[in-house]
Amino acid sequence: MKEFLSWDQTLFKDSELFELDHIPEYFHHRDAQLQSLMYCIRPALGGGRPVNSLCIGSPGTGKTTAVLKVFEEIEKHSQNVVPVLVNCQVNSTKYAVFSQIFKKIIGYAPPATGASFKKIFSEVAKYIVEHEKVLLVALDDMNYLFYENEVDGILYSLLRAHETHPGARMGVIAILSDTGVPHLLDPKVESVFLPEEIKFPQYTFDEIRDILSNRIRQGFFPDVIGESVLETIAHHTFSLGDLRVGIDLLKRSGLNAEKRASKTIAQEDVESAYEKSRLVHLSYMMRTLKKEEKILLGLIADSPQSNSGDLYKKFHGKTTLGYTRFYELLNKLGSVKLIDADFTGKGARGRSRVVKLRFKPEEVKIRL
C-alpha cells in the first residue's frame, strides 16, 4: 500500500507556487527584459524622470511579473521612487486609475463621491512635489484603456503633470498584450510618451519545460512527477503559448492524483486536468477581445469548421465591415490561438481558408 497517500498526506510541498498570481523568487528566461526595465527606471533612482517604457507581448509571457519583480527591488532599495501598479481591467477610467495612485501615495482611498478628478490629480501631484518623490505608474493590461477610450487622457495627465505642477516627476510603464491589432495613441500623447519598447516573446518549449520543472522542484515533494508527464504538460502549455496554462495544469493534475490517493501524478491526471486548464487561456483571451472580434468568434462558434468566404458574408451582414478588416480580425484570433485558419489553395489566388475553432463551441458561447 506504499504507493497510496494516507488521508493526511499531500503531494504539495508549497501549493502557493501553483497560484496564478504567485510571484516567483527566481524569474527565469527574462533577464534581458529585466535589464531593459532597470535601464528605464535608473534616472528615477537619482531623482530624475524615468524613461517611459512599453512592455509588449502575448498573454502569459511574464510582462506583469517582470514589472512586479522590479517594483519589489525599488521598494527595498529606494526611498524616493513611488511605484504603483494599476490593474486597468478593474480600473478602466481616468478617475479609477488616479484613485489607485492616490490610495498608494496618500495611504487611503479618495471619497467615492464628491471628489473631482482634478482634485485627486492635484493632491497626487502636490504630494510628489512637496516630498521630492518620483512617481512610477505601471498600467497593467493597458488594452482596456483603449477599449474605454480613456488611454489618451490618462497618459496625458501623467506625462504633462510638470506643466501644471513644476517639479512633478512622473513616468509610465505600459503593459500591453500584443493581440495582433495596433493600438494607436493621439499624436500629442505619442509625442510626450515616446516609450522604450521591451518585447516579451513567447517562451520556447525548452524555456517552458525549464520554468515548470523549477516550479515542480519547489512546489511538490520529490518524485511526484516523472519526465514523461512533465513533457506532456510542457507540450500542452506550449501549444497555447500561455505559461499560466502550465501552472494551472500542475495544480489540477496534483489534485487529481491526490483524489486517487496516488503518490505520483500520472498521464491520466494530466489529461483530465487539461480539459479545465486550457480554459484559463480561453477565459483570459476572451476578456481582451473587442466587440467586432467577439462577433466574429461567435459566428465561428456557430459553425466550428467553416470556409472564410462564407464566414465573411455572415460577418459583413452583421457589422458592414469590409474584407480587409475581417482578414485582420481572423489573423488576430489565430495569433492568440483561439482558432486555426489554414489556406486550402482554393478561391481567389488560393486565399480561401478553412477556419476551425480550437475550443468547444459551448465553451466559447458561455463566455460570450
CA distance 102 to 251: 37
CA distance 52 to 195: 5
Identify the three-state secondary structure at position 51.
coil
Residue 10 belongs to a domain: no
48-52, 179-183, 265-269, 302-306: least confident range = 179-183
**pLDDT tens figures, 45-61:** 999 999 999 999 988 99
Residues 178 and 74 in one domain: yes
Residue 14 belongs to a domain: no
Range(s) of the domain holding residue 122: 31-200
pLDDT for residue 305: 87
Residues 235 and 124 in one domain: no
Identify the three-state secondary structure at position 46.
coil
175, 67 contact by CB (below 8 A): yes
Which residues make beta-bridge pairs with 171?
A: 136
Looking at residue 221, which CATH number applies to its domain? 1.10.8.60
pLDDT for residue 1: 41
The domain boundary residue, chosen from 286, 311, 338: 286
Sign of the torsion formed by the C-alpha atoms of 199, 202, 207 and 212? positive
Q: What is the average pLDDT score of the chain?
A: 93
Residues 181 and 52 in one domain: yes
Count of CB atoms situated within 10 Å of the CB of 318: 13
- Stretch 316-335: mean pLDDT, rounded? 91
**pLDDT tens figures, 76-129:** 999 999 999 999 989 999 999 999 999 999 999 998 777 899 999 999 999 999
Residues 44 and 105 in one domain: yes
CA distance 119 to 141: 26
Pairing of strands 353-357, 305-307: antiparallel
DSSP string, 220-238: B-TTSS-HHHHHHHHHHHH
Looking at residue 349, which CATH number applies to its domain? 1.10.10.10
pLDDT for residue 183: 77
Residues 43 and 80 in one domain: yes
pLDDT for residue 147: 77
Q: 351 pLDDT band (50/70/90 cuts)? A: low
- Give the neighbor-by-neighbor strand order of the sheet with 305-307: 305-307, 353-357, 339-343
**pLDDT tens figures, 171-201:** 999 999 886 656 789 999 999 999 999 999 9
Sign of the torsion formed by the C-alpha atoms of 88, 94, 99 and 104? positive
